[in-house]
């Protein structure tokens, strides 16, 4: 190879620099910064714009449902508003969490792996204070202390209610059953995920009777990967699927298993307070029924039947003689 010994004149150098400045030539077009797109290999794009748009619709619905559920649970005004949805590295999400904070690890059967739901401590303790009968405006703690067993149980109960709203919000995309697996207050207790895993992060703002804070959630890509085909606008607009007959029967079947107190009222009597205070052992109170007469049977405190008292073997029993109607 013979090395070139030719040197460029000054006017040739100026012409080349001028061409680069004006963006002329094939090489200049290749180096045009407007054609360069930044790409972070640590945060690959797993979710498309359409995916993120549907996830935003899901969490808009979740915010509305969670606000309604918590307002009913806490008997006060609770507002939840979605502020942002984006994709982020799962490890980066964990690193940016405040410490301490309430971190809920939950699964969503049949989806694999686990997701995170994080609640700021002001929000969590406002919920706990309301559940304990307080105003919800709990004084700020100067030093964080571990939650007591009662506070821990109340927090888990409120989170379970929120996960039911989460389940309903995702109903148009996938039928899932969220299950709270663990509740911790230190980020060091969060199991690290696979390096480089991307997650969909949603941040919501919550206001509980004047106490404000944030809720955030991170759903790893591995959780949503089996249902990525459903994360499209057409699937969302198609609306929820129609429940099967077996699913429609489930609520009535569960109601049939509810315990209902049933009592037979042997008789009633009206006694003045003066006579009542004078009662002693051996005194007799005359009832408004007589032996052999039908008595009233109540279910849940309401009169439902007339019956005759008796025995079946060695156990007391009531034989239903008629059903009491509303106008009886």
Average pLDDT, the chain: 81
Per-residue pLDDT for 17 more than 80?
no
Would you state the pLDDT for residue 219? Answer: 93
Please give the full DSSP string across 63-82, using - where no structure is assigned: HHHHHHHHHHHHTS-EEEEE
Measured over the CA atoms of residue 3, residue 7, residue 12 and residue 17, the dihedral's sign is: positive
Reported as a pLDDT band with limits 50, 70 and 90, residue 286 is: confident
% of the chain at pLDDT higher than 70: 77
Question: CATH number of the domain at 262-277+284-323, out of 1.10.357.10, 2.60.40.3500, 2.30.330.10, 2.60.40.420?
Answer: 2.30.330.10
CB 233 within 8 A of CB 54: yes
User: Beta strands of the chain (E only): which ranges?
Assistant: 78-89, 102-109, 114-119, 177-184, 198-208, 211-220, 262-265, 295-299, 302-312, 315-323
What residue ranges of the chain are covered by domains with CATH 2.30.330.10? 262-277+284-323
At the topology level, CATH places domain 49-242 in: Chemotaxis protein chec (3.40.1550)
pLDDT of residue 2: 47
Give 258's pLDDT tier (boundaries 50, 70, 90): confident
Q: Which two tokens stand for residue 100?
A: 């301490």
**Least confident piece of the model among 2-6, 67-71, 128-132:** 2-6
Neighbours of 210 (CB within 10 A): 11
Higher per-residue pLDDT: 135 or 215 = 215
Identify which has the larger pLDDT, 143 or 123: 123
What confidence score (pLDDT) does residue 327 get? Answer: 61
pLDDT recorded at residue 316:
87
Tens digit of pLDDT for each residue in 91-140? 889 888 988 889 999 999 999 989 999 998 888 988 998 888 887 665 55
Residue 65 pLDDT > 90: yes
Q: pTM for this one?
A: 0.60
Task: Give the orientation angle of helix 149-169 with respect to helix 121-131, to 10 degrees.
Answer: 110
Across the range 137-146, mean pLDDT stands at 60
- Average pLDDT of 18-23? 59
Task: Please check the confidence at residue 212 and state whether its pLDDT lies above 70.
Answer: yes
Distance CA 137, CA 209 (A): 8
Residue-wise pLDDT for 174-196, tens only, equals 899 999 999 988 888 787 666 67
Largest CA distance in the chain: 132
CA distance 302 to 117: 44
CB atoms within 10 A of CB 123: 25
Integer-rounded Cα Rg, in Å, for the chain is: 34
Q: Crossing angle for the helix pair 121-131 and 49-74, nearest 10 degrees?
A: 30
């Amino acid at each position: 190879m013979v090395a070139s010994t030719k040197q460029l004149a000054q006017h040739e150098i100026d012409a080349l620099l001028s061409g680069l400045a004006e963006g002329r030539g094939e090489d200049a077009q290749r180096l045009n910064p407007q054609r360069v797109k930044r790409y972070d290999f640590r945060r690959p794009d797993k979710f498309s714009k359409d995916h993120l748009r549907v996830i935003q619709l899901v969490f808009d619905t979740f915010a509305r449902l969670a606000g309604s559920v918590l307002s009913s649970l806490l008997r006060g005004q609770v507002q939840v508003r979605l502020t942002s949805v984006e994709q982020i590295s799962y490890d980066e999400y964990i690193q940016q969490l405040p410490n301490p904070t309430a971190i809920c690890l939950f699964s969503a059967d049949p989806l694999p792996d686990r997701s995170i739901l994080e609640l700021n401590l002001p929000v969590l303790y406002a919920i706990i204070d309301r559940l304990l009968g307080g105003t919800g405006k709990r004084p700020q703690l100067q030093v964080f202390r571990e939650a007591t067993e009662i506070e821990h149980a109340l927090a888990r109960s409120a989170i379970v209610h929120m996960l039911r709203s989460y389940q309903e919000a995702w109903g148009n995309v996938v039928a899932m059953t969220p299950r709270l697996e663990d509740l911790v207050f230190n980020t060091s207790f969060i199991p690290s995920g696979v390096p480089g895993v991307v997650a969909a992060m949603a941040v919501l703002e919550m206001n509980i009777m004047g106490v404000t804070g944030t809720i955030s959630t991170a759903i790893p890509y591995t959780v949503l990967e089996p249902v990525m085909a459903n994360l499209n606008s057409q699937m969302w607009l198609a609306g929820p699927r129609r429940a099967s007959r077996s699913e429609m029967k489930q609520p009535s079947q569960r109601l049939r298993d509810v315990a209902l107190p049933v009592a037979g009222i042997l008789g009633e009597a009206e006694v003045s307070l003066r006579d009542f205070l004078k009662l002693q052992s051996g005194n007799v109170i005359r009832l408004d029924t007589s032996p052999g007469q039908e008595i009233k049977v109540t279910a849940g405190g309401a009169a439902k039947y007339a019956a005759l008292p008796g025995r079946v073997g060695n156990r007391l029993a009531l034989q239903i003689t008629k059903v009491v109607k509303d106008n009886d």
